Amino acid sequence: MKIPWLRHNFLARRTLDRWFLDPPDALIRRLKGRGDLPPYSLRSFVGGAENFEEAGRFFLEDFLQQGLVSAGTTILEIGCGCGRVATSLARDERIKAWGVSYSGMDVDEASIAWCAKHITRWNPLFHFYHANCYNPSYNPSGVVAVDSYRFPHADESLDLVVLTSVLTHVLPNELIHYLGEMSRMLAPDGVVYASFFLSPILAEADNGRHAFSFPVKRENHAVNREDFPTNAVAYEERYVRRVVQEAGLQVLEPVRYGSQDIMLLTKPIASIELREGWYELETNTWRWTTRSFGVKVKRRKDAFTLRFRFRIAEALLENDRTLRLSAAVGESRLQAVNYSTVGEHLYVQKIPPPALGEEWALIHFQIESAYEPATEDRRELGVQVIFRRGLRPLCPVSIT
C-alpha cells in the first residue's frame, strides 16, 4: 500500500520505524554483536540504514587522503545526524592518537542524544550539541530560524567543518547564513567539506546522478517537493559558487561529482596571513615552465602533513597539456600528481616520522610542464607552501 504522505514526512515515518522496525533490528544487531550501532529509526532518518558504516569509513578515508585531519585538528560537523561520520572517526586509532577534537551539531534532538550517550564514551574528545533550529523535514517544532543561528564556536577556531547530506536540506537564505558562519569560524588554513546536489542549470537538475528528482523549480534552486521543500534541495552550481565567494570563501578545485557533489571550500589565499608555523610564497611568482624549489623544515618527532597550494592558469593547460608536480623528502620520493584542470589545487602528502637523529626535513618540489615559453612570454605561476600550524620552517624557503 502506498501512503505517499508518510513516505515524505520524515518524522511520521520515523515514528512508524520506531514502533515496527526498531525491535527486530535490535534483535538482529544483538545476534550479530552490533548493539553499538544506532537503532534503525535513527539510521534510516539520516538516509543511512543500510550503508551506515561503509559511508562512515568512506568519509574518514577521504579526509585522511585529502590531508584534512592530522595531529590536533579541530572538527565541527554540522548536521551530524546519529553519527555516521563521527562513529568512524571516534573509534579510529589514528584519530585518537592525534588528539583530534570534534563537535557534532544537529537540529534533531534524538540523534544528538544517541551520539552524546555512546560516541563520547568511545572518545572523550567528541562532543555533541542540539540546536533547536526549524527545518520542516527534520525539526518542524524548531524555534530558531536557521538563518539567524549563531554557532557557539570562536572566530577562526576550526580546522575542518563537515556537512555531508546537509546543504542538500537547506534553502538559499539558510545556505548563505551557514556559509557566513563557516567563514567566521574557519581557521585561515581551514577547510569546509560539504556535499550538494549541483546542476549546471536548473532545467538539468534531474540528471540521473542524484537519487532525487527536482520538479519544483525556484530561483537558483529546485526542490523535490513543494510541501516538504527541505526533503531535498538542488542548487545551480554557479549560484553556489557566487554565494561561496560572497561569504569570503573559495572552492578548491576540482569539485567531485557523484550521487552527491563534494566541494572543498577554504579562505582565499589573499586573506591568509603569514602566521607562526606557516610559510607562504604568496607574493613570489615566477616563470611557469619547469621549476624546482626546496623547503627546509625543523623536524619534530611525529609525522606531519604537507599541503602545497597553487593555482593553474588557463594558459598553462592550452592544447591538453598537464602540469606534473612531484616532491621528495630527503631521499624518499612522494607521490607525483598530474593536474589537468584550471584553478586552485591542493597537493597533500603525509610526511613520515623522521629517522632517528634526523633534525631537518628537506622537501624538494619539482613542477614540470611541457610548455616552452617564448622569450617575451610574461605569464607566471604563483605558488604557496602551507604547513599545518605548529611547524616552524626555520630556514624558510629556498628557491632554486
> Which range touches ligand SAM (CB under 6 A), out of 11-19, 42-50, 238-246, 277-285?
42-50
Q: Helices 172-185 and 237-246: crossing angle, nearest 10°?
A: 40
| Phi then psi dihedrals of residue 309, to 5 deg | -115, 135
Contact partners, residue 182, CB within 8 Å, separation at least 6:
161, 192, 247, 249, 265
CB atoms within 10 A of CB 20: 12
Residue type, 218: R
Q: Could you give the CA distance from residue 382 to residue 400 in angstroms, rounded to a whole number?
A: 15
* Binding piece for ligand SAM, criterion CB under 6 A, among 101-109, 215-223, 265-273, 296-304: 101-109
Taking CB under 6 A as the rule, which mask of x and - marks residues 108-147 in contact with ligand SAM?
Answer: x--x---------------------x-x--x-------x-
| Contact pick of 90, 166, 202, 351 for ligand SAM (by CB under 6 A) | 166
Distance CA 388, CA 68 (A): 10
Minimum gap (Å) between residue 136 Cβ and ligand SAM: 9
d(CA 269, CA 28): 51
Biggest alpha carbon–alpha carbon distance for the chain = 76
Joined together, the cell numbers standing for residue 305 give 602533513
Beta bridge partners of 338: 324
Q: Smallest distance, Å, CB 395 to ligand SAM?
A: 43
Select from 14, 84, 130, 309 the one that contacts ligand SAM (CB under 6 A).
Answer: 84
Closest to ligand SAM by CB, 73 vs 135, is: 135
Query: Cell digits for 389?
Result: 600550524
Find the shortest distance in angstroms from Cβ 172 to ligand SAM.
13
Under DSSP, is residue 37 helix (H, G, I), strand (E, B) or coil? coil
Residue 170 or 251: the one with the smaller Cβ distance to ligand SAM is: 170
Q: Select the span of 74-82, 153-161, 180-188, 386-394 touching ligand SAM (CB under 6 A).
A: 74-82
Q: Residue 78, interface with ligand SAM (CB under 6 A)?
A: yes
What's the CA gap between 369 and 323, in Å, rounded?
5
Part of the chain binding ligand SAM (CB under 6 A), chosen from 40-48, 260-268, 370-378, 383-391: 40-48
Cell numbers that stand for 108 in this block:
534533531
Residue number with CB closer to ligand SAM (60 or 361): 60
At position 139, the amino acid (one-letter code) is: N
Kindly state the smallest distance separating residue 164's Cβ from ligand SAM, in Å: 4
| Number of shown-chain residues binding ligand SAM (CB under 6 A) | 23
Four-CA torsion 348, 354, 360, 366, nearest 10 degrees: -40
Binding ligand SAM (rule: CB under 6 A), the pick from 92, 106, 189, 344 is: 106
Pairing assessment for the beta strands 360-369 and 323-329 based on DSSP bridges: antiparallel
- Of 38 and 393, the one with the shorter C-beta distance to ligand SAM is 38
Name which position in 130, 169, 221, 307 contacts ligand SAM (CB under 6 A): 169
Within positions 198 to 217, which residues make up the interface with ligand SAM, using CB under 6 A? none
Among 87, 88, 123, 164, binds ligand SAM (CB under 6 A): 164
CA dihedral 216, 221, 226, 227 (to 10 degrees): 160
- Alpha carbon 288 to its chain centroid, in Å, reads 30
Contact residue for ligand SAM among 38, 39, 67, 81 (CB under 6 A): 81
Nearest-approach distance from CB 250 to ligand SAM, in angstroms:
23
Contact 260, 168 (CB under 8 A): yes
Interface with ligand SAM (CB under 6 A): 46-48, 78-81, 84-85, 106-108, 111, 133, 135, 138, 146, 164-166, 169-170, 174
